[in-house]
Amino acid sequence: MKNGIYYTLFSILLLLCTDFDGLTAQNLTEKATPKSETTEELIVTAKSIKPADAMEEARRRFKMLFNIYRDFTITIDTLALSTVVDMTKKDEETVKSDFGTYLDKMNATLTKKVEKITSNTKETQKERSRYLAGLNTLKSARCLQVDKTTQNFAQTRDMDNNLLMAFDLEALRHSSRYGQVENYREGFARIRKDQVYGFLNLCGEEVVTCQYERAEPFNLGKALVKRVDWFLVDAEGNETEPLENVADAKALRQGISWVRMTNNKEALIDNNYATTKVSLSQYYDAIDSFYNKEVFKVRNGKKIGLIGLDGKTIFDAIYDNIEPTNLSGVYRIYQNKTVGLLDTTWAIRVSPTYESISDFNEFGIATVKDRRGLAYTRTNTYKMSKFYLSISDFNEFGVSSMRNEGNLYGLIDTNLNVVVLPKYGSIGNFNDLGLASACYPDGKCGFIKYDGKEQIKANYESVGSFNKHGLAVAQTRVEDCDGKNGSCTVDVIIDRNGNTVVPVSDEAIKKKWRYKATDSLHVDRFIIVKVINNESKNISSFLLIHKTNLQLITSVPYNSISPIDILGNLRVESNNKWGMIDSTGKLLAKPIYQEIKRFNDSYYPAQNDKGKWGFLNKKGKPQIAFEYEDVRNFRFGLAPVSQGKGKWGLINRFNAKIVPCNFRSVQLNEAETKFHIKDENDTVFIINENGECETNCSLFEKLRAAANKAN
């Protein structure tokens, strides 16, 4: 039970306050314990508090805020929580009467903590600054000892994100007398009233009278102000002696300020400068903010250096420039026309001895150049590669090609490890398959993978780019070309694994075919390869490769290829003659026909070289003799045919003359699946799909008998 109370009160305390170093109560609460119902109730109460209870709430809130100084520094211990429990058990009247005593005790506590800090590290200085800021806030809170019922109080967060109940500054922002009303810092709000500056405490009282032409916010108990000269003023309005020779000033943090002297030199000073008259830093021609309000760029003449907030020198002003790169926390540092790199550890990671250093790429790698050539360096490790005559950009696979002094190419990865030693005469760009062409100095070419593995052996005279289907054109050397002594290069097509898809053929050698593997598809199933025939350059021809298994479909190129039926067969044209192949590339009919029409029912109408029409079967063989002047497709087992002179008839699949070719027209009625036949007198005869007459049959039989007798 007791532990549950501790967690609840701890959650309330940390939700309502935050320390002066930016560690929010929310962050601490999330690490310690989830929100409790009591916390939610307190938030609702704070938002709906009555004006008459504002002072009481302000005191209570202030005590909760300052317990973070008394009970917590960096870690939280269980003994400290008991103090919170004891405090929250007191009734509100006790809180009020004890408030002055509480402030005294807190003042003593924080003073003792400041005295205990003897080391001068960055972290201890931050902790000391937090306590000194707290001491100044205590001074402002003295006003809360006396009830001020006429003042309007509101919940607010100060400039350090602490949650307070204090005088409502918003009302002043609507008054024409006030040109500037800032939020609270260290318990005091900077205001400009009637064109001069002063400060209000948490109760809205003007404790530092508006009398200054310039003023900076409080900075560890002192504020920079100007009235003719610059001074430092404390929370009671006490002024120091004028800051000697200071022409301009600006508060920074941790009690440190920037000043420009009357001789135009700039320096950093602390809050004791009026007494010591000694600056923290050297005097420079310029001091500018550089990194995280803790490091400053300084300039003497044209030379640049860096100093810390404590005024200590990080780098002497001996450099030509220090500028950020495109990578956060990494900077170029220039000296004598050379450049290096430093980071926020403020150590020079790459000495300024190089001609140039590029921006960093997405892998955190920059290109370095000097008289030796080009190299890579990377952040984090600042590892430097060897120098090469040329290097390429890193690709999506994280590799780059480089060329050494022997004009040989290799590969390097993003860890700056050499993947392939320089041994190639050339390396192409990597494609989407992760492959790049690679040729040895002797001219033999193949393909390598981004990991350096030789994917396709270098057995070719040259290689082209892969298309999106994984095919590439390569040239291979053939001896005794076309029966002659000597050799020649012939195109082949290979796949991504180095398998030959389109091999060397005698005709390819003879006609000197050249190939182009396109990205285009024919009927969504076949990859189109364009064939360039050196003997007939103006005539295009094509090969087909199945896109699924990459098998060659057409053994020879054709000038035209088109679907001819629903079975997947294709009609092909070569030298103005048509033939047929099936979907596997098997030749069904040699290209010897003047025309082959689309299959419709059983057979393909075809025209031979004498201009006569017949029919081919599904295997491409002649099924009905070539004896007709014109034909139409079979429908319902019958086909209209003509033997000339504008006379038509009907045949069946066995070429039997169901209707002799003595009629003026034959028309199919699709809806009836019947043929309407007209004679010279426009008499209509209807023949059904079985070849039987249904209309004017007596006359039809006489005409058919006469035709048969004549033949």
Q: Kindly give the pairing relationship between strand 399-403 and strand 409-413.
A: antiparallel
Q: Please give the structure tokens belonging to residue 301.
A: 């003449």
pLDDT at position 483, please? 66
pLDDT average, residue stretch 111-136: 89
In the prediction, which pLDDT does 160 show?
85
Q: What pLDDT score was predicted for residue 571? A: 94
User: Which is more confident, 149 or 313?
Assistant: 313
Beta-carbon neighbour count of residue 47 at 10 Å?
8
Q: What percent of the chain has pLDDT over 70?
A: 87
**pLDDT (0 to 100) of residue 4:** 39
CA distance 137 to 473: 80
For residues 563, 564, 570, 576, the Cα torsion angle rounded to the nearest 10 degrees is: -100
pTM of the model: 0.69
- 277: tokens are 């008259």
pLDDT at 202 over 80: yes
Per-residue model confidence (pLDDT) at position 43: 38
Compute the distance between CA of residue 222 and CA of residue 251 in angstroms, rounded to an integer. Answer: 10
The dihedral of CA 118, 119, 120, 123: what is its sign? negative
Sequence-separated (6 or more) residues with CB below 8 Å from residue 674: 668, 686, 687, 688, 689, 694
Residue 41 pLDDT more than 80? no
Are 290 and 306 in contact by the 8 Å Cβ rule? The answer is: yes
Kindly report the length of the chain: 711
CB 472 within 8 A of CB 498: no
Is residue 648 pLDDT above 90, yes or no?
Answer: yes
pLDDT band for 50, please (50, 70, 90 cuts). Answer: low
Mean pLDDT across the chain? 86
Is residue 85 over pLDDT 70?
A: no
| pLDDT of res. 91 | 41
Least confident of 155-164, 255-264, 617-626: 155-164
pLDDT at 707: 83
When pLDDT is cut at 50, 70 and 90, the band that residue 289 belongs to is very high
| Whether the Cβ atoms of residue 366 and residue 384 lie closer than 8 Å to each other | no
328, 344 Cβ separation under 8 angstroms: no
pLDDT for 149 equals 65
Q: Where are the extended beta strands (E) located within 301-453?
A: 303-308, 313-319, 321-324, 330-335, 338-343, 348-354, 356-357, 365-370, 373-378, 390-391, 399-403, 409-413, 418-424, 426-427, 435-439, 445-449
pLDDT of residue 12: 31
- List, for residues 603-638, the tens digit of each pLDDT value: 999 999 999 999 999 999 999 999 999 999 999 999
For the stretch 661-692, pLDDT in tens is 999 999 999 888 999 999 999 999 999 999 99
With 50 as the cut, is the pLDDT of residue 21 above it?
A: no
The CA R_g of the chain, rounded to the nearest whole Å, is 48
Q: What pLDDT, on the 0 to 100 scale, is given for residue 150?
A: 66
Grade residue 711 by pLDDT with cuts at 50, 70 and 90: low
Does the structure show a pLDDT above 60 at 176?
Answer: yes
Q: Quote the CA–CA distance of 298 and 283 in Å, as a whole number.
A: 9
Section 697-704 average pLDDT: 92
Contacts of 345 (CB under 8 A, 6+ apart): none
pLDDT higher than threshold 60 for residue 20:
no
Say whether pLDDT at 600 is over 90: no
pLDDT digits (tens, 9 = 90+) for 265-282: 999 999 999 999 999 999
Give the C-alpha separation, 372 to 389, whole Å: 8
Residue among 502, 421, 503 nearest 454 (CA):
421
Angle between helices 99-116 and 54-71 (to 10 degrees): 30
Burial class (CB in 10 A: 0-12, 13-18, 19+), 515: buried
Q: Give the model confidence (pLDDT) of 339-381 as tens digits.
A: 999 999 999 999 999 999 999 999 999 999 999 999 999 998 9
d(C-alpha 583, C-alpha 523), whole Å: 11
- Please give the full DSSP string across 456-517, using - where no structure is assigned: EEEEESEE----TTSEEEEEEEEESGGGSSSEEEEEEEEETTS-EEE---HHHHHHT-EEEE
Q: Directed axis angle between helix 2-16 and helix 37-47, to 10°? A: 40
- Output the six-digit token pair for 86: 């004891």
Which of 9-23, 106-120, 562-576 shows the lowest per-residue confidence on average (mean pLDDT)? 9-23
What are the tens digits of pLDDT across the range 470-526? 999 999 999 888 666 678 899 999 999 999 999 998 888 888 899 999 999 999 999
The rounded distance, in Å, linking the Cα atoms of 334 and 341 is: 9
- pLDDT band for 62, please (50, 70, 90 cuts): confident
pLDDT at 538: 64
Q: What pLDDT score was predicted for residue 299?
A: 97
DSSP string, 593-634: ESEEPPP-BSBEEEE-TTS-EEEE-TTS-EEEEEEESEE---
Give the residue-averaged pLDDT of 168-180: 91
Phi, psi dihedrals of residue 630, rounded to the nearest 5°: -160, 150
The pLDDT of residue 46 is above 50: no
Q: Report the pLDDT value the prediction gives residue 507, as an integer from 0 to 100.
A: 87
CA-based nearest residue to 293, from 264, 254, 325: 254
pLDDT at 536: 63
Q: Shortest CA distance to 377 belongs to which of 416, 434, 339?
A: 416
Look at residue 29 and give its three-state secondary structure: helix
